[in-house]
Amino acid sequence: MREESMILKGNSLSLLNEFELILESDPLIDEVGFIHPSQFVTLNKEASSSLEHEDANFWSRDHKLAISTDVLLPLYKAVKDVFMHAISQYKSHENLSDASWDEGNLESEVMKHSKALLLLSCDFGTAWNFRKLIVSKKQHMLIFLDELFLSALVLSCSPKSEKAWCHRRWVIKMLAGKCSTMQVIVGKESELVEKIAERSKMNYRAWNHRCWLVSYMTTEQVLHELKKSRNWAGLHVADNSCFHYRTRLMLRIREDHCHKLEDGTSDGNDEIYRIWQEELDWNEALIKCYVGREALWLHRRFLSLSWIRHFTTNVGDTSNYRVCKSSINADIGVFMDNELHLANSCSTIPDNEFEDFQAQAIYSATYILWLTKQISDSQGIELQEKPNLGSLRTMLNTACPERSSLWDISTRISGKCDEGLKENRYQRR
Amino acid sequence: MGELVVDKHVKYILSVEKRKDSFESVVLEHLRMNGAYWGLATLDLLGKLDALDSNEVIEWIMKCQHESGGFAGNIGHDPHMLYTLSAVQVLALFDKLNVLDADKVANYISGLQNEDGSFSGDEWGEVDSRFSYLAICCLSILHCLDKINMEKAVNYIASCKNVDGGFGCTPGGESHAGQIFCCVGALAITGSLHHVDKDLLGWWLCERQVKSGGLNGRPEKLPDVCYSWWVLSSLIMIDRVHWINKDKLVKFILNCQDTENGGISDRPEDAVDVYHTYFGVAGLSLLEYPGLKAIDPAHALPVDVVNRIFFQK
């Protein structure tokens, strides 16, 4: 029994050596994956190789690395053991502040084993931490960039790894202010997120990273990102995160614009107005093209509410918007008429009972109720001529009876305006 | 639809610890502290906390404490706020908070508060509104909320609020049901729920219920049992839980059980794990499923444990 475990241990150490040797001999490996050993044959065929490695544990070519799922358990155990040993040695020497210790060697051991470990266990926080500790002592641009490279390699296999994304933010914070190519780095980060989001749909961590980057962008970059992400969003209409990213960019553009208005370097709202109008028109086109997509209707809620708050004048201000109130005197009534028209055109359910059309009808009706409630709640105005909320409610009560108390409160609030509707206008309360 | 298979879930939880034979079970050892909390809180909600030896658990927890006062996910790992709250919660379950030097833990946490009121997860400085919750919940259990700048902490959380009423990781981050739970929970504990637009947030949260009765965490996503906790507890804290269909949600959770071997999965027919088992049972507890202990939606601990902490000196 004991002999057996010794043999196993010996095997896993040679596995470990083999693994680390591959990583060292090709520092440009940019993609890693775990695959079933039977797939090695396919990989070899695809690479039109005459060699057959059916019993191989690793496969590596063109800077891509595959690890057999058969060896993951022993390999992980071996890597973890050597890593834990390396950091305990590192810590004890560091504490003794022993002049004779071979700092460089201990550091490279920790770096080597932590890399191997993170490829197998992407959220092993202690391994990321020790890399941060060692790298921050060096304060060298190229070493920081190596960390971005490693984190991207981990993300190629584990695109949702929270710690890998977090490591990138740490590196970027370390570089900020010290590095002249910050804009280039931020641009590349944004591209990386897009690349990963393409393979890993609705990846919250990835898009959160992109949102985080916005505060490091110049105004020009923000405008460029808004332009660039439009195409992607149009092809991924169910990915709410991308639309949220656009929300983040648009709010930043408006914020920058407010600063310009305050310090007198700009006096008009035309540019902001154009951006909002374009987004509304584009969103409407997508809604009509892709039937029943929740993310599109939620994006429209944001667009419409902020349009009303920003561009209409006879509306109670909230402090956030007072400073840079638009000079464009848009009419809230005309705006709402358009929205009702859109919602109406989306609420016909054809006989064939496609679920998408039902969803579209529900989202459009909910959209109108939501917007009406938000306007009357936060803007201090009431609809004079309200949309036919009664019929919307009846429809929603049939389609989603479990939310009936929600439909009740939203129509009750707007229902107050039943008394005295005269003109097709919204008035201050 | 069957009933909750209590005995099988207890058996499943007790077996998880012993499984060391697969990569999937071993590779998560860095967050064993969270696993301990999920498993033990489940046992307590099921009324079976005495099924294992508490001394062994407590001894192991204390070996995970770092000299800074924070706890690691396992022995020999670095401390993090994520594991510190789990450690404190497990000690609270066992009524063993007295083994802690509360000041030491509280100093670790208050040392992670930043100038703007936010919290870092550990010494490496990542900021997230989740860490605000971890800090506030932990200090609340330890009766040490006075150690931080509460006003700034609350204002930071409020700054993570979005136009849709939800909350993100940092200001401007996308709304996510998990983040919303953290922000609403922290605001509830500090008595600051006036920062929440309850109708607006309630609207977004109840739209998380999909046709099958399950809840998702963001628009267009599939339902997942863990959101039975994140969404439901938030709805309860803001008093809007009547906006969803509770019966359908109960059915959805029960359908995610492995009725043969115990455990609950994210969706029907998927593989079970301890994380989803906890959130499934906790969700059922919030839904007042018969035979389960009641759970406190803000502290994520059984109500009798919370009462013991706050009403017994």
CB A187 within 8 A of CB A216: no
Structure tokens belonging to residue B214: 């399950």
What does the DSSP assignment read for A353-391? --HHHHHHHHHHHHHHHHHHHHHHHHS-EEESS---HHH
Q: Under an 8 A CB cutoff, do B199 and A377 touch? A: yes
Structure tokens belonging to residue A315: 């509306």
pLDDT at position A427: 40
Q: Under an 8 A CB cutoff, do A402 and B23 touch? A: no
Chain A residue with CA closest to B128: the answer is A166
Find which of B174, B216, B218 to mutate to test the A interface (most A CBs within 10 Å of its CB).
B174
B233: in domain: yes
Q: Under an 8 A CB cutoff, do A240 and B174 touch? A: yes
Structure tokens belonging to residue B205: 């949260």
pLDDT at position A101: 65
B28: in domain: yes
Residue with tokens 């071993």: B26
Residue B164: which CATH number?
Answer: 1.50.10.20
Structure tokens belonging to residue A244: 């949220």
pLDDT at position A407: 82
pLDDT at position A405: 78
pLDDT at position A424: 34
Element (H, E) at A243: helix A240-262
Which residues of A fall within a CB distance of 8 Å from B242?
405
Q: Under an 8 A CB cutoff, do B126 and A373 touch? A: no
Output the CA–CA distances (angstroms, integers) from residue A280 to A298, A335, A339, B136, B184, in the order listed: 12, 11, 10, 40, 31
Angle in degrees, 0-180, between the axes of helices A141-157 and A162-175, rounded to the nearest 10: 160
- Nearest by CB to residue A305, choosing from B21, B163, B202, is B163
Q: How far is A126 from chain B (nearest CA, A)?
A: 5
DSSP A32: E
Nearest to B263 by CA among B1, B22, B46: B46
What does the DSSP assignment read for A220-239? HHHHHHHHHHHHHHHH-TT-
Residue A66's DSSP bridge partners are A33, A59
pLDDT at position A98: 59
What's the average model confidence in pLDDT over B213-241? Answer: 97
Q: How far is A314 from chain B (nearest CA, A)?
A: 21
Nearest to B74 by CA among B13, B31, B109, B18: B31
Q: In terms of residue numbers, what domain contains B291? A: 6-311
A31: phi then psi, degrees, rounded to nearest 5? -150, 135
Find which of A95, A160, A211 to mutate to test the B interface (most B CBs within 10 Å of its CB).
A211
CB A423 within 8 A of CB A384: yes
Q: Under an 8 A CB cutoff, do A129 and B218 touch? A: no
* pLDDT tens-digit map of B122-176: 999 999 999 999 999 999 999 999 999 999 999 999 999 999 999 999 999 999 9
pLDDT at position A94: 79
B200 touches chain A (CB under 8 A): yes
- Nearest by CB to residue A72, choosing from B23, B169, B199, is B23
d(Cα A78, Cα B165) in Å, to the nearest integer? 48
pLDDT at position A323: 45
Burial classification of residue A83, based on how many CB atoms lie within 10 Å of its CB (0-12 exposed, 13-18 middle, 19 or more buried): buried
pLDDT at position B95: 97
pLDDT at position A312: 77
B1: in domain: no
Q: How far is A48 from chain B (nearest CA, A)?
A: 32
First to last CA, chain A: 84
Confidence of residue B236 (pLDDT cuts 50, 70, 90): very high
Which residues of A fall within a CB distance of 8 Å from B126?
166, 169-170
Q: How far is B270 from chain A (nearest CA, A)?
A: 20
Burial classification of residue A131, based on how many CB atoms lie within 10 Å of its CB (0-12 exposed, 13-18 middle, 19 or more buried): buried
- Nearest by CB to residue A129, choosing from B31, B124, B199, is B124
Characterize the bridge pairing of strands A31-35 and A58-61.
Answer: unpaired
Question: Computed from CA positions of residues B108, B154, B128, A134, in that sequence, does the dihedral angle turn out positive or negative?
Answer: negative
Burial track B250-287 (b if 16+ CB lie within 10 A, e otherwise): bebbbbbbbeeebbbbbeeeeebbbbbbbbbbbbbbbb
CB pairs under 8 A between A and B: 109
Q: Under an 8 A CB cutoff, do A88 and B125 touch? A: no
Structure tokens belonging to residue A264: 């007198």
Characterize the bridge pairing of strands A426-428 and A64-68.
Answer: unpaired
B183: in domain: yes
Nearest to B142 by CA among B312, B311, B310: B310
Structural domains of chain B, count: 1
pLDDT at position A406: 80
B254: in domain: yes
B192: in domain: yes
Residue B167's DSSP bridge partners are B161
Q: Under an 8 A CB cutoff, do A301 and B164 touch? A: yes
The complex scores an ipTM of: 0.96
Output the CA–CA distances (angstroms, integers) from residue A275 to A217, A221, A258, A272, B173, in the order listed: 18, 15, 15, 5, 21
d(Cα A276, Cα B157) in Å, to the nearest integer? 28
For chain B, percent of residues with pLDDT exceeding 90: 95
Residue with tokens 């658990």: B57
Q: How far is B51 from chain A (nearest CA, A)?
A: 30
- Nearest by CB to residue B78, choosing from A125, A170, A370, is A125
d(Cα B133, Cα B297) in Å, to the nearest integer? 13
Below-70 pLDDT ranges, chain A: 1-10, 47-55, 97-101, 313-330, 351-353, 378-388, 411-429
d(Cα A349, Cα A355) in Å, to the nearest integer? 9
User: Beta-carbon neighbour count of residue A378 at 10 Å?
Assistant: 16
Residue A195 C-alpha from the chain's centroid: 12
User: Beta-carbon neighbour count of residue A32 at 10 Å?
Assistant: 19
- Nearest by CB to residue A208, choosing from B77, B173, B203, is B173
Q: Under an 8 A CB cutoff, do B124 and A373 touch? A: no
Chain B residue with CA closest to A305: the answer is B163
B2 against B61, higher pLDDT: B61
Which residues of B fall within a CB distance of 8 Å from A72?
23, 27
pLDDT at position A305: 94
What's the average model confidence in pLDDT over B52-63? Answer: 96
Residue B296's DSSP bridge partners are B301
